[in-house]
Protein backbone atom coordinates (compact mmCIF):
# COMPACT_ATOMS: atom_id res chain seq x y z
CA UNK A 1 0.00 0.00 0.00
CA UNK A 2 1.15 3.53 -0.78
CA UNK A 3 2.17 5.57 2.26
CA UNK A 4 1.11 8.92 0.78
CA UNK A 5 -2.06 10.24 -0.81
CA UNK A 6 -2.91 11.21 -4.35
CA UNK A 7 -4.70 14.56 -4.32
CA UNK A 8 -6.72 15.48 -7.44
CA UNK A 9 -7.92 19.02 -8.13
CA UNK A 10 -10.28 19.47 -11.08
CA UNK A 11 -12.25 22.42 -12.34
CA UNK A 12 -12.69 24.91 -15.19
CA UNK A 13 -10.15 27.45 -16.40
CA UNK A 14 -9.56 30.34 -14.01
CA UNK A 15 -10.99 28.64 -10.92
CA UNK A 16 -7.65 28.92 -9.12
CA UNK A 17 -6.44 25.35 -9.57
CA UNK A 18 -2.83 26.19 -10.42
CA UNK A 19 -2.38 28.65 -7.56
CA UNK A 20 -3.99 26.35 -5.02
CA UNK A 21 -2.27 23.17 -6.15
CA UNK A 22 1.10 24.87 -5.78
CA UNK A 23 0.21 26.29 -2.36
CA UNK A 24 -1.26 23.00 -1.20
CA UNK A 25 1.73 20.96 -2.37
CA UNK A 26 4.11 23.27 -0.53
CA UNK A 27 2.00 23.14 2.61
CA UNK A 28 1.85 19.35 2.84
CA UNK A 29 5.26 18.65 1.33
CA UNK A 30 3.97 16.95 -1.83
CA UNK A 31 5.07 17.24 -5.46
CA UNK A 32 2.84 19.46 -7.59
CA UNK A 33 2.10 18.14 -11.08
CA UNK A 34 0.54 20.87 -13.24
CA UNK A 35 -1.18 18.79 -15.92
CA UNK A 36 -2.49 21.90 -17.67
CA UNK A 37 1.09 23.03 -18.15
CA UNK A 38 1.81 19.69 -19.80
CA UNK A 39 -0.86 20.24 -22.45
CA UNK A 40 0.25 23.84 -22.84
CA UNK A 41 3.78 22.60 -23.45
CA UNK A 42 2.56 20.35 -26.26
CA UNK A 43 0.65 23.30 -27.74
CA UNK A 44 3.70 25.55 -27.53
CA UNK A 45 5.93 23.06 -29.32
CA UNK A 46 3.24 22.33 -31.91
CA UNK A 47 3.05 26.04 -32.66
CA UNK A 48 6.82 26.46 -32.82
CA UNK A 49 7.27 23.41 -35.05
CA UNK A 50 4.23 24.29 -37.17
CA UNK A 51 2.60 20.95 -36.42
CA UNK A 52 -0.98 20.66 -37.64
CA UNK A 53 -3.01 19.74 -34.54
CA UNK A 54 -5.22 17.55 -36.74
CA UNK A 55 -2.18 15.45 -37.73
CA UNK A 56 -2.20 12.61 -35.18
CA UNK A 57 1.01 11.06 -36.45
CA UNK A 58 2.91 14.34 -36.07
CA UNK A 59 1.43 14.94 -32.60
CA UNK A 60 2.35 11.41 -31.50
CA UNK A 61 5.91 12.00 -32.64
CA UNK A 62 6.04 15.35 -30.85
CA UNK A 63 4.82 13.77 -27.59
CA UNK A 64 7.25 10.86 -27.84
CA UNK A 65 10.17 13.31 -27.85
CA UNK A 66 8.79 15.45 -25.03
CA UNK A 67 10.53 15.67 -21.66
CA UNK A 68 8.70 17.64 -18.97
CA UNK A 69 10.02 18.47 -15.52
CA UNK A 70 8.50 20.49 -12.70
CA UNK A 71 11.18 22.28 -10.71
CA UNK A 72 10.40 24.02 -7.43
CA UNK A 73 12.77 26.44 -5.77
CA UNK A 74 12.32 28.84 -2.85
CA UNK A 75 10.29 31.35 -4.84
CA UNK A 76 8.47 29.63 -7.68
CA UNK A 77 7.72 26.53 -9.70
CA UNK A 78 9.14 26.31 -13.18
CA UNK A 79 8.15 24.15 -16.15
CA UNK A 80 11.13 22.74 -18.02
CA UNK A 81 10.51 21.24 -21.46
CA UNK A 82 13.36 19.51 -23.23
CA UNK A 83 15.76 21.49 -21.05
CA UNK A 84 14.13 24.91 -21.64
CA UNK A 85 12.25 26.96 -19.05
CA UNK A 86 8.88 27.61 -20.72
CA UNK A 87 7.03 28.78 -17.60
CA UNK A 88 6.07 32.14 -19.17
CA UNK A 89 5.91 31.08 -22.81
CA UNK A 90 3.08 28.59 -22.19
CA UNK A 91 0.84 31.20 -20.52
CA UNK A 92 0.07 33.50 -23.46
CA UNK A 93 -3.51 33.86 -24.78
CA UNK A 94 -2.42 32.32 -28.09
CA UNK A 95 -1.08 29.19 -26.43
CA UNK A 96 -4.21 29.01 -24.25
CA UNK A 97 -6.48 28.89 -27.31
CA UNK A 98 -4.30 26.32 -29.09
CA UNK A 99 -4.17 24.21 -25.93
CA UNK A 100 -7.93 23.62 -26.16
CA UNK A 101 -7.45 22.01 -29.58
CA UNK A 102 -4.37 20.05 -28.55
CA UNK A 103 -6.03 18.73 -25.38
CA UNK A 104 -8.91 17.38 -27.45
CA UNK A 105 -6.53 15.12 -29.40
CA UNK A 106 -6.77 11.44 -28.49
CA UNK A 107 -3.06 10.77 -29.05
CA UNK A 108 -2.00 13.74 -26.95
CA UNK A 109 -4.32 12.82 -24.09
CA UNK A 110 -3.15 9.21 -24.12
CA UNK A 111 0.49 10.31 -23.98
CA UNK A 112 -0.06 12.88 -21.23
CA UNK A 113 -2.29 10.62 -19.11
CA UNK A 114 0.34 7.89 -19.29
CA UNK A 115 3.02 10.36 -18.21
CA UNK A 116 0.85 11.76 -15.41
CA UNK A 117 0.14 8.28 -14.06
CA UNK A 118 3.81 7.41 -14.04
CA UNK A 119 4.62 10.67 -12.24
CA UNK A 120 1.97 10.18 -9.57
CA UNK A 121 1.61 6.44 -9.09
CA UNK A 122 3.65 6.37 -5.85
CA UNK A 123 1.51 9.02 -4.17
CA UNK A 124 2.68 12.12 -2.37
CA UNK A 125 1.45 14.25 -5.27
CA UNK A 126 -1.06 16.99 -6.02
CA UNK A 127 -2.35 16.97 -9.59
CA UNK A 128 -4.60 19.62 -11.08
CA UNK A 129 -6.48 19.61 -14.35
CA UNK A 130 -9.90 18.79 -15.75
CA UNK A 131 -10.04 15.00 -15.67
CA UNK A 132 -7.70 13.98 -12.84
CA UNK A 133 -10.33 12.54 -10.54
CA UNK A 134 -12.37 10.97 -13.35
CA UNK A 135 -9.79 9.65 -15.83
CA UNK A 136 -6.18 9.95 -14.69
CA UNK A 137 -6.55 8.90 -11.06
CA UNK A 138 -10.15 7.84 -10.34
CA UNK A 139 -8.70 5.99 -7.32
CA UNK A 140 -7.29 9.20 -5.79
CA UNK A 141 -7.94 9.34 -2.06
CA UNK A 142 -8.70 13.08 -2.11
CA UNK A 143 -10.61 14.81 -4.89
CA UNK A 144 -11.60 18.46 -5.15
CA UNK A 145 -13.75 20.18 -7.76
CA UNK A 146 -12.89 23.87 -7.71
CA UNK A 147 -15.24 26.35 -9.37
CA UNK A 148 -16.10 30.06 -9.60
CA UNK A 149 -18.45 32.17 -11.72
CA UNK A 150 -17.35 32.78 -15.30
CA UNK A 151 -17.22 36.53 -14.63
CA UNK A 152 -14.89 36.05 -11.67
CA UNK A 153 -12.70 33.62 -13.58
CA UNK A 154 -12.50 36.04 -16.49
CA UNK A 155 -11.53 38.88 -14.17
CA UNK A 156 -8.78 36.80 -12.59
CA UNK A 157 -7.37 35.86 -15.97
CA UNK A 158 -7.59 39.50 -17.10
CA UNK A 159 -5.69 40.69 -14.01
CA UNK A 160 -3.07 37.99 -14.52
CA UNK A 161 -2.43 38.99 -18.11
CA UNK A 162 -2.38 42.70 -17.26
CA UNK A 163 0.25 42.01 -14.60
CA UNK A 164 2.41 40.49 -17.32
CA UNK A 165 2.14 43.66 -19.37
CA UNK A 166 -0.20 42.24 -22.00
CA UNK A 167 -2.85 44.36 -23.74
CA UNK A 168 -6.13 42.61 -22.97
CA UNK A 169 -9.84 43.41 -22.80
CA UNK A 170 -11.91 42.19 -19.84
CA UNK A 171 -15.06 41.33 -21.81
CA UNK A 172 -13.05 39.52 -24.48
CA UNK A 173 -11.26 37.56 -21.77
CA UNK A 174 -14.61 36.49 -20.28
CA UNK A 175 -15.80 35.42 -23.74
CA UNK A 176 -12.64 33.33 -24.16
CA UNK A 177 -13.19 31.70 -20.76
CA UNK A 178 -16.76 30.77 -21.79
CA UNK A 179 -15.47 29.30 -25.06
CA UNK A 180 -12.84 27.32 -23.16
CA UNK A 181 -15.52 25.96 -20.81
CA UNK A 182 -17.67 24.81 -23.72
CA UNK A 183 -14.76 23.15 -25.51
CA UNK A 184 -13.46 21.44 -22.36
CA UNK A 185 -16.88 20.04 -21.46
CA UNK A 186 -17.74 18.89 -24.99
CA UNK A 187 -14.49 17.25 -26.03
CA UNK A 188 -14.61 13.51 -26.66
CA UNK A 189 -11.49 12.53 -24.74
CA UNK A 190 -11.14 13.42 -21.05
CA UNK A 191 -13.92 16.04 -20.86
CA UNK A 192 -14.26 18.34 -17.87
CA UNK A 193 -16.45 16.48 -15.37
CA UNK A 194 -16.86 16.47 -11.62
CA UNK A 195 -16.05 13.15 -9.97
CA UNK A 196 -18.98 11.82 -7.93
CA UNK A 197 -16.85 11.66 -4.78
CA UNK A 198 -15.18 15.07 -5.20
CA UNK A 199 -15.49 17.80 -2.57
CA UNK A 200 -16.98 20.94 -4.16
CA UNK A 201 -15.40 24.31 -3.39
CA UNK A 202 -16.76 27.52 -4.95
CA UNK A 203 -13.91 30.02 -4.78
CA UNK A 204 -15.85 33.00 -6.18
CA UNK A 205 -15.99 34.89 -2.87
CA UNK A 206 -13.17 33.12 -1.05
CA UNK A 207 -9.53 34.09 -0.68
CA UNK A 208 -6.74 31.69 -1.54
CA UNK A 209 -6.06 31.19 2.18
CA UNK A 210 -9.71 30.38 2.88
CA UNK A 211 -9.85 27.76 0.12
CA UNK A 212 -6.51 26.34 1.21
CA UNK A 213 -7.74 26.01 4.81
CA UNK A 214 -10.79 24.06 3.62
CA UNK A 215 -8.62 21.76 1.52
CA UNK A 216 -6.23 21.11 4.40
CA UNK A 217 -9.14 20.23 6.67
CA UNK A 218 -10.47 17.67 4.20
CA UNK A 219 -7.01 16.22 3.55
CA UNK A 220 -6.41 15.78 7.28
CA UNK A 221 -9.66 13.80 7.52
CA UNK A 222 -8.82 11.63 4.51
CA UNK A 223 -5.23 11.11 5.65
CA UNK A 224 -6.46 9.78 8.98
CA UNK A 225 -8.86 7.40 7.25
CA UNK A 226 -6.12 6.32 4.84
CA UNK A 227 -3.77 5.38 7.69
CA UNK A 228 -6.34 3.33 9.58
The predicted pLDDT at position 124 comes to: 92
The pLDDT profile of the chain, 228 residues, written as one tens digit per residue, is 567 899 999 999 889 998 999 999 999 999 899 888 999 999 999 999 999 999 999 999 999 999 999 887 766 788 999 999 999 999 888 898 899 899 889 999 999 999 999 989 899 999 998 889 999 999 999 999 999 999 999 999 899 888 988 888 999 999 999 998 888 888 777 788 899 999 999 999 999 999 999 999 999 998 877 766
| C-alpha span between 19 and 22 (Å, rounded) | 5
**Which of 98, 130, 159 is closest to 17 using CA atoms?**
130
CA distances from 36 to 9, 42, 74, 184 (A): 11, 10, 22, 12
The predicted pLDDT at position 228 comes to: 65
The domains of the chain, with CATH numbers, are: 6-209 (3.40.50.300)
The predicted pLDDT at position 1 comes to: 55
Q: Is 76 exposed, middle or buried (0-12, 13-18, 19+ CB in 10 A)?
A: exposed
Assign residue 10 a region (left: φ > 0; alpha: ψ between -120 and 50; beta: otherwise): beta
Amino acid sequence: MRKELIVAIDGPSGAGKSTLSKALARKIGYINIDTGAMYRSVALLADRQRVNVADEKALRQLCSNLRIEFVRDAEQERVIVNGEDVSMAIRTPEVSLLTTKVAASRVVREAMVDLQRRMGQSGGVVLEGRDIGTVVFPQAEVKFFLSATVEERGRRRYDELLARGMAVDLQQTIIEIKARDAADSAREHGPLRRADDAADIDSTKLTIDEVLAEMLKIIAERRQAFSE
